[in-house]
Amino acid sequence: MAITRFAPSPTGYLHIGGLRTALYSYLWARKTNGEFRLRIEDTDTQRNNEDAMKAIIEAFDWVGLSYDGEVEYQSKRVDIYKKYIQQLLDEGKAYNCYMSKEELDALREEQMANKQTPRYDGTWRPEEGKTLPAIPEGVEPVVRIKAPSDGVITFIDGVKSIMNFDCSEVDDFVIARSNGMPTYNFVVAIDDALMGMTDVIRGDDHLTNTPKQIVIYEALGFDVPKFYHVPMINNPSGKKLSKRDGAMDVMEYKRRGYLPEALLNFLVRLGWSNKDQEIFSMKEMLELFDPTNINKSASSYNEEKLLWLNAHYIKNVSNERLAKELEFFDCHLEGHDKKEMLLDLCKERAQTLVELKEAISVILDVPTEYEAKGSKKFVKENTIKVLESYVQLLEENKNSLHLACDYELITKPFIEEFELKFPQLFQPIRIALTGGTQAPSVYDIMAILGFEETKTRINNAINANFGKED
């Protein structure tokens, strides 16, 4: 049974790299009948953003990643952290450091000049037989942990295998600032231990934090969880993903017309695979996902793949679901007598819900103007007479016109009688009905609009001479 968590900082909106990490953590917890927790790491009060905090919760609700228990906020746990800081001080495993920022900066400049790795030199670290400097007046100390001075910190990473960090790379890092507030690595280790985390799945930008957190675990006698560090998502050029490439607020994907299951399907494949399978339902993800199979190399963001997946889900979810989703885009089909026919027609060509709404609007919205290029190309001298005759044909058969096939049944003989090519009739009708030349089958459009609306729109176009100057 795995207990996992997702722990974002509310300093910016949730982006897709974070959502992928959350998805992997969620899948592993659910697959093992464990727990998936959500923790907001908001101890950096100067950088916290209230709107971003709400957006994180909103994004989780949208994609349907349910978490166990209440959301944990680190800002409400400060007393817990201070208790453990004091415990380390009392046990001699941490100490007060009075080195000023200026002194620390000078030390690092000297080390860099000597081509040494910048690190704290242990000036205030208590050692047997060592005399510490006099405590300066008016200086509030930071608290540093006593990190091991020699040896190797080793752990088995579920993605990267055995990881070794020489203790010389981990100095006596700060666990509490001079104002008493604990630092990131300290609170993460405390929370993961107290919340019983067995598996920590996170981006590999956290890899260098891991040895520091292990130092804290061991100093406090906590069990060390299993770590999985997931490689980053790059853009198609192999560089860091930017907003332009797709690293935007997760909710922006909703605003652009993506379905949550398409986004999750896309993300699960950015770093994990099951042979050549591309389409994964949530049930299949839960059955097949294993974090030990996460790829060791970075993955590349592919917008075309995401659009392809989204188009697949748009075609395969129920029309009832699509109608509900379209309400977000101010497209309301409830009560429309041709809702099913309309959605069946338009979803075949739509890659996003935005495109689906636009396709529906092309049919339902009465045209206020007619495409000049199309009118010039397809509306000729005899077009008006042909359309007038066609409207008369519709009038004569209006009681039997219900489905697209009904319109087709009477139209084909009409085309033969007038010796027309299909575009000579259909393109002027398409322009009359929608205002343009890019639209689905004319038979389908007429069936959706019905006889009266079809007749009215064709007559309007005739009366307006398709917007052409007389």
Question: Which segments are annotated as binding site for ATP?
Answer: 243
Angle at 298 between CA 296 and CA 300, to 5 degrees: 140
Q: Return the bridge partners of 229, or none.
A: 202
Nearest CA to 185 among 157, 163, 204, 213? 213
Q: How far apart are CA 333 and CA 353, in angstroms?
A: 14
Closest listed residue to residue 211, CA positions, set 158, 165, 159, 156: 165
Residues in the chain: 470
DSSP state of 425: H
388 φ/ψ angles, rounded to the nearest 5 degrees: -60, -40
> What is the Cα–Cα distance from 347 to 331, expressed in whole angstroms?
14
Angle at 101 between CA 98 and CA 104, to 5 degrees: 85
Q: At what angle do helices 422-434 and 353-364 cross, to 10 degrees?
A: 100
Give 128's contacts (C-beta < 8 A, 6+ positions apart).
none
Please report, in range form, the residues annotated as the binding site: 243
The answer to whether residues 9 and 239 touch, using CB atoms and an 8 Å cutoff, is no
Q: Print burial letters for 344-375: b (CB count within 10 Å at least 16), e (below 16).
A: ebbbeebbbbbbbbbbbebbbeebeebbeebb
d(CA 214, CA 330): 51
What is the side-by-side order of every strand in the sheet holding 161-166?
Answer: 161-166, 152-157, 226-230, 199-203
